[in-house]
Amino acid sequence: MPKVIILGSSNAIPTRDNENTHMVIVGEECMLLVDSVSNPILRLEQAGLDFNDLTDIIVTHFHPDHVSGIPLLLMDMWLMGRQRPLNIYGLHYTLDRIETMMGLYSWSEWPDFFPVVFYRIPTREMSPVLDCPDFIIHASPVHHMIPNIGLRIQFKQAQQSIAYSCDTEPCDEVIRLSEGVDVLIHEATGEGMGHSSARQAAEVARKAEVGRLILIHYPTGKYANGDLVAEARTAFQGDVALAKDFMVLEFGSPENKNSLC
């Protein structure tokens, strides 16, 4: 059964209980990491997953709270003997900077390093990213401070879909990306340049006519402010939940509604 596991739910300032926002999408044949922060191998182990099963990474944008774990992930995989290729997807802007960052670590000189293949995503709406036996992924540009993408994931066998806004202020691109999905995972950092409030996320969910809204990338710890779920419910009448670290979204048969664990 395919599933999405939230590995981190916080905005750029994490806490002991809320890591920076990133997630993993798990299928029978593919395991995809969306962004990479902290120590990804430990987070995957805490989620009950083997990092060796990781096949792909999508990097949404080049901000530290979304890419800081990439060097450590690649180095640890190499040190622990990985041989199978790893695919990394992102915009030209993003992947150019990741390659520059890895160059500062002289990764080209790491002996017997496993293949890493970069796939550059065009900056246009609903660009194809990945089509594997488990799911199909498309990306659309969203409105942030630097080039950034949101994602739409269609689970093939379950015939269900989710969308992820990533960091964005409200925009029509996210509404179109999310149209009719079963679950929208939308950021709720707070209203401001490049970000959205919980109410604004709910307005997107309502306009896109999604089934369920999950708020993510929100202020945590001493920066937490107010009841975000209650705020969102003022603009969206569907189910609303707050993402938590290691929350699991499972997608079953077409007859069964996805469930939260």
Dump strand ranges (E) for 69-109.
Answer: 86-91
Q: Determine if residue 47 is left, alpha or beta; phi over 0 gives left, psi from -120 to 50 gives alpha, anything else beta.
A: alpha
Structural domain spans, the chain: 3-252
Question: Could you give the CA distance from residue 204 to residue 174 in angstroms, rounded to a whole number?
Answer: 7
The one-letter amino acid at 39: N
Quote the pLDDT of residue 260. 54
Question: Could you give the CA distance from residue 74 to residue 64 in angstroms, rounded to a whole number?
Answer: 16
Q: Determine if residue 249 is left, alpha or beta; phi over 0 gives left, psi from -120 to 50 gives alpha, anything else beta.
A: beta
pTM above 0.85, yes or no: yes
Selected from 3.50.50.60, 3.20.20.70, 3.60.15.10, 3.40.190.10, the CATH number assigned to the domain covering 3-252 reads 3.60.15.10
Quote the pLDDT of residue 256. 44
The per-residue pLDDT for range 13-23, each reduced to its tens digit, is: 999 999 999 99
The per-residue pLDDT for range 76-112, each reduced to its tens digit, is: 999 999 999 999 999 999 999 999 999 999 999 999 9
Question: Could you give the CA distance from residue 138 to residue 256 in angstroms, rounded to a whole number?
Answer: 24
| Residue 248 DSSP one-character state | E
Cβ atoms 215, 18 nearer than 8 A: no
The one-letter amino acid at 83: Q
Cβ atoms 245, 18 nearer than 8 A: yes
* Backbone torsions φ then ψ of 102, nearest 5 degrees: -65, -30
The per-residue pLDDT for range 202-234, each reduced to its tens digit, is: 999 999 999 999 999 999 999 999 999 999 999
